[in-house]
Structures are given as C-alpha cells and as structure tokens.
Structure 1
C-alpha cells in the first residue's frame, strides 16, 4: 500500500518535441505532468524529444508537480534508449505504453536498475488494450516499483470497436476491471482523457463520473482542462468537515471503549473513519501546495 498521499487530480500530457510546452509546464497548476515521447511525437522527432526532455529534467523547476516520462514501447526502436537516457535523471516515474503483461513491468524494472535510476523513480502503466485489461491483476502484482495505472481510453475504444458516448457505457467494464486490480494491490489509478475541448459540460460530467468510479484524477490533453479536474477531484469543504467530525467522534468513542458511534444519526464504524482519514490527508496535501 502507498504510505504517502500525493494529489493526482490533474495529470497533463506535454509533447516532448515542443520545448515551449515543456517550459510552460513549470507554471501550470497541474498536479502532474507527463512529458510524452510516444503518441505526441512523430518518428522523425523522437531523438529531439528525448534530448529536450533530458534538458528539462536536468533544469528542473517543476516544483510540487509530479514529473513523469512516457517512453516509447520497449519493443520499438526508441524505448530502450528512452529509459537509458532519462531514467538516471530521476523523473518521478516512467510511464510505459500499452502494457499487456507482468513481464513488461519486470523488464522495465530491470532496465531502470541497470540505468542507475533512483529508487524514487517508479513505474506507471498505460492500460489501453483488451489483453492488458484482462491481465490487470497480474500486471498490478508484478512489482513494488509499479505505483499507478493510467487508463488509455482512446486506444481502448478503438480496439474494442466501441464508441465514445456521454455515459461511457462501452468503457465501464474495462474501467471497473482495472480499478479493482489497482485497489487490490494498492495502486493509484488515473482516468483517461476527454477529447472534445469545446464541450465544457461534457468534460465536467466525465470528471464527476471519474470521481464516482473511484479514480484519483484525470489525464488531460490541454492546460485549459486543469482547473476543472483540480476542482472536481478535490474533496469538497463539506466532505472535509464531515470527515474531521467523524474522526473526532470515533476517537472519543474509542476512548470510552466503544467500537461504533452515532454522528448526526448516522452509524460510524472503522471503515468510515479510514475513508475519512484518506480524505483529510488528501485535503491537507492539496492545501500544502498553496
């Protein structure tokens, strides 16, 4: 299980071939940044993108933002060099695309060790193929260095021959299976991107659905989406106040030898207190960022 609460409400993809975007990312209020070498970079620009991301990591200046590098697949002409060059520079994580088995995680772990990556550099996995979804539990259990699943709903929709719909009904089975695996093995999990930048109402509804399903946050394709994700995936003031109230009430009940307590007519047990502590810890971590 993760011992540290790290807000991941908004995690923004930034194309590695765009030096201006890599610089702008230092001032954005996103919780995390995915410096991308894969989908957002053409084959002719892969080497340039790798060099620019390396310079960005060396320069730093990203503050509280979690900096993740999405490499090319390990089977591509660029994937191994991506890890060899960038892992020693200590990004917070390496994000592997199209993970379909535990062997991929173990290979990446070995490559990180060989490259001299610090222990703080973890592995994230894109879950974006039918086979990857079916093996989600196997992948989640592969390594303690794996800390996060990222849903790749665009690729998954294509492979399923399904459609993007407002309620995402074609996607719910895949989201649910991956969510179960992530929570069973103590991983964070991020929802997929929302593609229609003009549909603000639809985007907000997608974020709200993500919260309801249990996601820690959402991956984003444009800086304009950051504010909405930060708002929706953060605990509300009412949630925080209720959580603190039941934590205090349960502590007082325990001091009197009681295992349950009524708060405003609602029965409160250990399970409610555990969730309340998670909410308060997340709120405190967000507040600490200013």
Structure 2
C-alpha cells in the first residue's frame, strides 16, 4: 500500500543552492511542485554554516506557498551531517533529503536523530540512492521506515560509481534504475528520477523526462528553472489520457451493471487492473489541481 501522501504532485523537484539568497527568494515564484534547498553539493565547505542558517530560516518562513519544501543535508560521515539534521529538525520542513543512503540502518539513524532533535511528525525523510550498493538494497532501504516516503535517484554519482558514461537513453543506468523502481514500488514509496545536466538541451531533457515517466518515475529532479515546464507537462496526465480513463471507468461500470466482468474500449479488453490505472490517472489530475489552489 502506498504511503498516504503518495499522490502529492512531485512532477518537478528543483534543487536550489542554499548559499544563494537570491535563488532562495526566486524559488518563491517558480512553478515547481517541490524544492530541495541544498546544503550539500551546491555549497562550498566554508559556506556550510551560513547556508544552513539561511536555508532553515527559509524552510520555517511559510513563504513558499503550496510548494513542498525540503532540505538536503550533508551526507552521513561528513563534518556537517549531525548539525544539519538538528537544525533541519527545528526548522520543520516537509522533508529532509539525505544523500548517499546505502542501507536501512542509515535511514533508521536519520530518523532517530530527527526525533531526538524534536522534528515534527510531518517532516519526512527522502533517501537518495546514488551507488551500486544502494541499487542492490533499494527495497530494504525503502522499507526501513514509515517516515521515509520518497526515494531520489542520484544518477550523476551512480554514473561515476559504475565507471560508466553519460549517453542518450541512459543504457548504463537502466539496470540500477529498474532495481530502484522495483524497490520503491514493493515498499509503496514515491520515486524521483535523477537530474539532466545539459540545461541548453531542452529536446534531450524532454526525451529523458518521457523515458522516466514511461519507466514509472513519479517526477524528475531538476537543476534549472528552465526545465520546469517540460517536467510539469510530461509527468502530468495528458488530456487524451484523462479522457480515455473516464471512458474506461464508465465502460467497466456499465459492464458490471449488466453482469459482465470485462468491457471493451477502442477494441481493447478492459479488466480491473485497467480501471485501477484509470482511477490513478484521475486522482493524479485532482491532486495537481488541489496543489494549484
């Protein structure tokens, strides 16, 4: 069974550098479903403490509207990890994003630290899977805690760890992405695709969004506001999908009234599983509309 906030739209999840005050201000106006205020890769070591203070103040401000607001802390084993967790717990964002999660034990340790620091119940955990070990233990990680609601693919680090190359179609990553998707779905968790690095290649970005959606990802993590429109469009049901979903549900309900267990739409056999998928499409559309206010 999916976690209770699984239908919250996460088509577009934008990383924002925690050390950049102008970026944090701009984020209040962007059409992102969710924001990751970053204390890790986007912040130099000498700026970590100032960025932590700035990001936690932003998370506690209540000035980001309906956008889901998360904080990416520095990873386990770094000098900043424990202080980041304590500060994030006090700020009370929607979630804490934890990089380099390789085991269920790491998830449980993060949960214990958040509870000890007084994090509100609504502050969830998002775990980043970035290594071969994480791919091979995706189900174990996803099932480690009810507080963990989202898996986030760290595809750049995964390419590095695999000694692979960045290529169109992402063939070197597909086995790992598939394992992570299987783990997420087995545990009933949301899963977000990794970033696309070339912000000047909108066609390549949209193609990767489409691949991610076809594979089953719930949305995509982004590195530039220019990627928002395509991600929001590709990861939302199209008008054609919505219209067909309604016809599937109507046809199946009519068949049941007539005592039949199956129906046909456009010449195709319709069974319970197709109706469940159609209802998921309509529920996703309703969730997007609710988030827009």
With the shorter chain as reference, the TM-score category is over 0.9
Q: Deviations over 1:230-254 (max 9, x none)?
A: 0111110000011111112222322
Q: Which residue of 1 aligns with 2:4?
A: 3
Q: Which residue of 2 aligns with 1:179?
A: 181
Q: Which residue of 1 aligns with 2:289?
A: 287
| CA distance in structure 1 between the partners assigned to 2:118 and 2:271 by the alignment | 46
Quote the RMSD (CA, aligned, Å).
Answer: 1.1
> Which structure 2 residue ranges, 5 or more long, are not aligned?
none
1:240 partnered with 2:239: no
Q: Which residue of 2 aligns with 1:55?
A: 57
Of 247-256 and 54-63, deviating more is: 247-256
Verify the 8 A CA contact 2:34 2:68 in the aligned structure 1: yes
| CA distance in structure 2 between the partners assigned to 1:8 and 1:253 by the alignment | 35
2:93 paired residue among 88, 91, 94: 91
Write out aligned runs for 1:150-189 (5 A): 150-189=152-191
2:19 paired residue among 17, 33, 36: 17
Verify the 8 A CA contact 2:60 2:92 in the aligned structure 1: no
**Runs of at least 4 residues of structure 1 off by over 6 A?**
none
| CA distance in structure 1 between the partners assigned to 2:148 and 2:289 by the alignment | 27
Q: Which residue of 1 aligns with 2:145?
A: 143
Verify the 8 A CA contact 2:246 2:278 in the aligned structure 1: yes
Q: Which residue of 2 aligns with 1:120?
A: 122
Superposed displacement of residue 179, structure 1: 0.4
What TM-score results when the alignment is normalised by the length of structure 1? 0.97
Q: Which residue of 2 aligns with 1:109?
A: 111
1:220 partnered with 2:225: no
Tell me the secondary structure at the aligned position of residue 57 of structure 1. Answer: helix
Superposed displacement of residue 119, structure 1: 1.2
Superposed displacement of residue 257, structure 1: 3.3
Say how many residue pairs are matched. 290
Q: Which residue of 1 aligns with 2:272?
A: 270
